[in-house]
A and B are shown apart, each in its own frame.
Chain A
């Protein structure tokens, strides 16, 4: 019997080969671009499909410089269709810093950036600058948000320009202290709008 050879056209509607349903482990879910945005919310696509969700921040530029008031990218989460964004968080925050004049290199814990069963927005940075070329980039990992047994862990690593012309490298980790599934995440600045920048959401299995 002659072999029946398939081509692209004959399999164009195929969405799974056996148990294979994806060609890669990092799947893009959504991208949002800030434009003088008071906040950016991801209200869909966060469910049990993936065990890990990764937010990539690309050049998040604040409207307001921290020289006039503390400015930082922060986030909170919520459940179901709620929009209160006030889940209970316990977290840690440490950072290294170095300024352009090499005068104050440092590594240290920042109690101003952590929470202990707090319901406020979680800092991902502190003291961001808003010069035209200043911004924040990095990642936030959210683990197994749909789990109904465990608390919801998160880890963040961002680098950004401090308003005092420091390069900053902030590490944030912690958990949202709920066993209810998380379905949405909101980002905003502590002061002013997110002037520009992109947040990309990926799922990782």
Chain B
């Protein structure tokens, strides 16, 4: 019998096969366009931020400000009606200038929080140069827990006055589920850039 060779058209009706399924799922992608903020709210615009996933991962792709400012975030326990959950955080960074004149690794007390409801910082100010931006990742763990505080870690690369490799972590000191996350610059808009939200889970 002659071999029947299928092509893309002949398998266009196939929507699932018995292949090994990847376990990191893209939930939502938002692109900034002179945006004052970008929010991910559970149950809104196809966003999932509940017990579906034990781990959530945000990826920042070329986040560019309208004015040089710190990129930051806060969370909500009431579906985004208000943002300002008490947090305690750490921040340290490695940095170097383009002139190679100031390479350091240090903790930065201007960038952390101690039981504060202010915005949690994601790196030192990003420049407005056309080629300047911030890229990196932010992990959240078990946002829907009714027992534990809500941990996060991030690692971002920032083009500011320095080339900065920013590290941060901490916890939102609440045992209520967190169901919304908002990103913004401390002043001005998010001129451009993409934020992707992934969910990671086992079976």
Q: Do residues A98 and B114 form an inter-chain contact, with CB atoms below 8 A?
A: yes
Among B109, B141, B170, find the residue whose CB has the most chain A CB atoms closer than 10 A. Answer: B141
Is B71's CB within 8 Å of the partner chain A? no
Q: Do residues B19 and A23 form an inter-chain contact, with CB atoms below 8 A?
A: yes
A interface residues, tally (CB under 8 Å): 60
Interface residues of B, dominant DSSP: loop
Question: Using an 8 Å CB-CB cutoff, how does the interface string of B107-130 with A read, 1 for contact, 0 for none?
Answer: 101001111000000000000000
Question: Using an 8 Å CB-CB cutoff, how does the interface string of A50-88 with B read, 1 for contact, 0 for none?
Answer: 000000111101000000000000000000000000000
Q: Which residues of A contact B151 (CB under 8 A)?
A: 59, 135-138, 159-160
Q: Do residues A26 and B114 form an inter-chain contact, with CB atoms below 8 A?
A: no
A30 closest partner in B (C-beta):
B202
Question: Using an 8 Å CB-CB cutoff, how does the interface string of B163-177 with A read, 1 for contact, 0 for none?
Answer: 000011111010100
Q: Do residues A31 and B203 form an inter-chain contact, with CB atoms below 8 A?
A: yes
Interface bin, chain B? 35 or more
Q: Which residues of A contact B11 (CB under 8 A)?
A: 5-6, 11
CB < 8 Å A-B pair total: 174
CB of A94 to closest CB in B, whole Å: 9
Is A90's CB within 8 Å of the partner chain B? no
Question: Using an 8 Å CB-CB cutoff, how does the interface string of A105-140 with B read, 1 for contact, 0 for none?
Answer: 111000000000000000000000000111111110
Residues of B whose CB lies within 8 Å of any CB of A are 4, 6, 9-24, 54-55, 88-92, 105-107, 109, 112-115, 139, 141-142, 145, 147-149, 151-153, 155, 167-171, 173, 175, 200-203
Q: List 20 A-B contacts (CB under 8 A).
A: A6-B10, A11-B17, A14-B17, A21-B19, A22-B19, A22-B22, A23-B22, A24-B21, A25-B22, A26-B24, A27-B22, A30-B202, A61-B148, A98-B114, A100-B115, A107-B92, A107-B107, A159-B171, A160-B151, A169-B168
Residues of A whose CB lies within 8 Å of any CB of B are 3-8, 11-17, 20-28, 30-31, 56-59, 61, 96-102, 105-107, 132-139, 157-161, 166-169, 171, 198, 200, 202
